[in-house]
Structure 1
Amino acid sequence: MSLAAPIVLAAPLSDAGHAQLLTAAVLAIATVILVIVWARFHPLLGLILGTVVLGAVAAVPPEDGLNSFISGVGDTFGTVGLLIALGAMLGKLLADSGGANRIVDTIVDRVGRRTLPWAMALIAAIIGLPMFFEIGVVILVPLVVLVAVRTKVSLMLVGIPALASLSILHGLVPPHPGPLTAIALLKAPLGLTLIFGLIVAVPTLVVAGPLLAIVIDRWVPVDTPDPEGGRADDGGDDADDGKQGAGHSDDSDHEGAGGTTPPFALAVLAIVLPVALMLVRAIGELTLDDGTTIRNVLDFVGEPAVALLVGVLVAMVTVGRAAGMDRKAINDSLGSGLPGVASIMLIVAAGGGFKQVLSDSGVANVVADAAKGSHLSVLFLGWLIAVGIRLATGSATVATVTAAGIVGPLGAGLTDAHLALLVLAIGAGSLFFSHVNDAGFWLVKEYFGMTVGQTLRSWSVMETVVSVLGLAGVLVLNLVV
């Protein structure tokens, strides 16, 4: 079907003309960018102030604008907030129990030097499924450095695949907050988005991970820091020159909070179970008739909140108890995962409020009409808007929620498949060229001990390749769905 289908929206709160509404949208987005980038306010305040400017310039009655914003915050927080919280709890328990370290040790012990970059991409994909990007970096990058030291493999060869894997999951694959928020705002089907996201993610990771790492390693040679002093190439006999057993770690190297580490199979089960339940639901949606008993059961257990809750409960036994943690230690670990994501939850919720005022004020109608007149593909338009906001604010989350709010009206006439692709296009755009206004940029720079120039030529280039390849994958899928 055509991606420029008719759009039907509710009557706007404002009677302002098209030029005034467009001005309101431009000034609101400019306010968000300036407040975050120039004034260095928290993105939550930036989105709130941008909403105030939007309502004022669009001549929305203050009480109506406030009610619209609160409605958007509540709807978005209710849809996404619980999922973010459960995902954070699962990721923290996996880290505290030693499950993440067990996965790394087991995989690295079974590969050689030549396949190590591919193994690191796999490790990051497994560990990154339930974790937010920043948490994944904090947990994974020290392990990447340790692997590079032990095996005498270049830091870029093992680091770039791991970072690419984390970034791709963050932008394209539920239950990460960006894709989940876009799904909620665009009312896209989660199952199809998950399936399409995995289809796009695999070739993107192959190219932007292990293959691109070879190029970046030659372009940006980075010495591997030695945790015991000196550099990794100073010598030593704890690497086996590329044969199996590259990790050479025992249980005492990375013990969990309970004094041991859970078995590899149980650690993997805790991570992949929620995604597996959501995938089973997606398969049921495609193959079973609506209303049947089996379909209803699959719809329930594959609901993201239910799937993540099941994952947390199973992880309490499979990685918590198996690591020797008592009930108090498990509960403390689960609770300690929440403060770190409170900021993300509030930014996402405020983005939902901003989106709601965009829609209710009539700005969304005007933007939708302008988009139709531009003859640009809706998918490319969503990617382009996300790119612009990402470059300006540095935040993938702000880019996702803002772009989804702007192009949301264009989704009214799209099929479920095209809505899923629109979510992925926006997610890909939100990853474009991370630079100095992105916290992730500095996180990677410091962990890898690089200069700003080296980080731009490695991490930033990798993010751009991921974004462009992600869009390419979406456009290819659009030709066949």
Structure 2
Amino acid sequence: MADWQILSITAAVIVGIVLMIVKLRINPVVSLVAGAMVLGLATGLGPVETTETAMQGFGDIMFEVGLLIAWGVLMGSILNETGAIRRLVNALLKIFGPRGVPYALGLTIGTALQSIFLDVLLVMSAPLARRMAPHLGKFGIAKMATAMAISLECGIVLMVPGVATMALAGLLGVPLGKMMIFGFIVIVPTIVISIAIMNFLIHRGLWNVDLDQQPIDDEPTDSGGTGALHDNNGDTDGDGFGGPAPVDPEDGLVDGHGTRVGLLPHRVHEVEEAEEKQHSLFLLFAPMLLALVLIATGAILEMAGVTHPVIEFFSAPVVALLIGLLGTSYVARYTIGGERVEKAVVDGFRESGQILILTGAGGSLAAVIAASGMGDVLGQYFTAGSFAPLLTVWAIAALLHIAVGSVTISAITAAGLLAPVAGQIGLDPVLLALAAGAGSLFMVHVTSNTFWLLQSMLGQTTRGTLKSCSLGVSVASVVALGCTMILGLFL
């Protein structure tokens, strides 16, 4: 089959997948697998080879990252149940001054907390960030919302154990330890530079307080206490999040999310004293940190040429994360009891199921793309050391994300298109993974659940969220591509 035919058919299939997801509202998993089948048949693989290749692709990526994703999500679910996430975010807001809070919170969310399911992490940290915003001055909401949007989205695709990051590593055959190290190298400057750029723009006219954020009622209540922070507009967007959150009279927490937004002053003090009596945050996070240290140590020693069976075993990501999960479970049983740990595990399995199936479906499409001869076609146009593959995968991921609205789908699909090229031209696959992740960040908009959660929970208008989330994460997308290209000069 001619090169132009393979390219045309592949492009048509990708467009078809996008239309199935966006226009026909067909589940992304079904759309990806259906697209893989059509591509295989249209490029001449035949019925048997097409189905076998699709199933093999699903199985291969599950072999690489299936247990890793499950361990990471379960660990995050247990940490969430212990209240560790809320306490950590609150501690950061206390320790760092107004100028440092957005950077400290952003780096912590983007790197250390990526085992937490994104929506859970956002719901736990957003109310605390909003509570701190007034201490940052006139543009506090804008700065905190931007920092959270950038760090949440970057962490998914650039930092282990972010679910899309692990999927990209498995798809492209990148050792997880290597992905973690180079992802860390890229994500840290990306978050810092992007937040700095956005803060510069916010102070120079980007943010309009009257139009970009919802009014906050801080007048005293009839009961004599300080009123809860809430939106005067109620549920103006029909998303179910607007209006004042109900306060639990038993523990003073809002919406069951552990936030102290809306507590009376004396109640805040009581809760803070209670937290001081709880077990240390280091104890709660120690098993997860140990797992990450084991993975990083193994990767560093491997690059240094140091090998030993014991080191190889304990630094293997599946073993290291299992150790972290077992340790987290033990600590949690000691601190909150076995019943709550079991509940967290059930919630974690519920969350990980959809992630695993979507990742596997992406692997099916990538495998069929590779078998169709796409690698041979694209390999003719790229040369070793060229930035063209990185720009191409970034652009494809960006376009897919604008159309589909899913960071994970766009990153996996774009990486799958160029995965066969890496080996042919001598390009390190980790660079393709990082470029695909960077591209998938571009233009987070109204199709994203994260967009609406940030809008409602941080008191922004839709116009404001388009600035803090859509523009902010797009800036991070471009910065991450630049950092990846710079890294490519040394690999």
Structure 2 length as normaliser, TM-score? 0.82
2:36 equivalent among 51, 69, 73: 51
Stretches of structure 1 that go unaligned for 5 or more consecutive residues are: 1-15, 233-245
In percent, how many aligned pairs have the same letter?
A: 28
Amino acid at match of 1:333: A
Q: Aligned in 2, Cα 1:247/1:473: closer, same or farther, shift over 3 Å?
A: farther
Q: Aligned in 2, Cα 1:283/1:187: closer, same or farther, shift over 3 Å?
A: same
2:206 equivalent among 196, 211, 219: 219
CA contact (8 A) 1:103 1:268 kept: no
CA contact (8 A) 1:171 1:427 kept: yes
Structure 1 length as normaliser, TM-score? 0.84
| Alpha-carbon distance in 2 for matches of 1:211, 1:272 | 30
| Alpha-carbon distance in 2 for matches of 1:213, 1:45 | 41
| Alpha-carbon distance in 2 for matches of 1:286, 1:299 | 13
After TM superposition, the structure 1 = structure 2 runs for residues 81-480 of structure 1, keeping only pairs within 5 Å, are: 81-125=66-110, 128-148=113-133, 154-216=140-202, 218-220=205-207, 221=209, 222-223=213-214, 225=216, 228-229=228-229, 252=271, 261-290=278-307, 293=308, 296-318=309-331, 320-323=332-335, 325-371=336-382, 377-413=388-424, 418-480=428-490
CA contact (8 A) 1:164 1:466 kept: yes
Q: CA deviation at 1:53?
A: 2.1
Is structure 2 residue 80 aligned with structure 1 residue 70? no
Stretches of structure 2 that go unaligned for 5 or more consecutive residues are: 218-226, 233-264
Q: CA deviation at 1:409?
A: 1.1
| Alpha-carbon distance in 2 for matches of 1:280, 1:224 | 49
CA contact (8 A) 2:379 2:424 kept: no
Amino acid at match of 1:219: L
| Alpha-carbon distance in 2 for matches of 1:317, 1:399 | 37
Q: Aligned in 2, Cα 1:63/1:277: closer, same or farther, shift over 3 Å?
A: same
Query: Aligned pair count?
Result: 443
CA contact (8 A) 1:93 1:315 kept: yes
Q: CA deviation at 1:225?
A: 4.5
Which residue of the partner structure matches residue 220 of structure 2? none
Higher mean Cα deviation, 38-47 or 436-445?
A: 436-445
CA contact (8 A) 1:387 1:432 kept: yes
CA contact (8 A) 1:155 1:223 kept: no
Which residue of the partner structure matches residue 12 of structure 1? none
**SS of match in other structure, 2:95:** coil
| Alpha-carbon distance in 2 for matches of 1:261, 1:225 | 32
Q: Aligned in 2, Cα 1:410/1:48: closer, same or farther, shift over 3 Å?
A: same
Q: CA deviation at 1:75?
A: 1.1
Which residue of the partner structure matches residue 7 of structure 1? none
- What is the RMSD of the two structures over their aligned residues, measured on CA atoms? 2.9
CA contact (8 A) 1:436 1:442 kept: yes
CA contact (8 A) 2:160 2:166 kept: yes
| Alpha-carbon distance in 2 for matches of 1:300, 1:393 | 40
Q: CA deviation at 1:252?
A: 3.1
| Alpha-carbon distance in 1 for matches of 2:230, 2:416 | 50
Which residue of the partner structure matches residue 237 of structure 1? none
**SS of match in other structure, 2:428:** helix
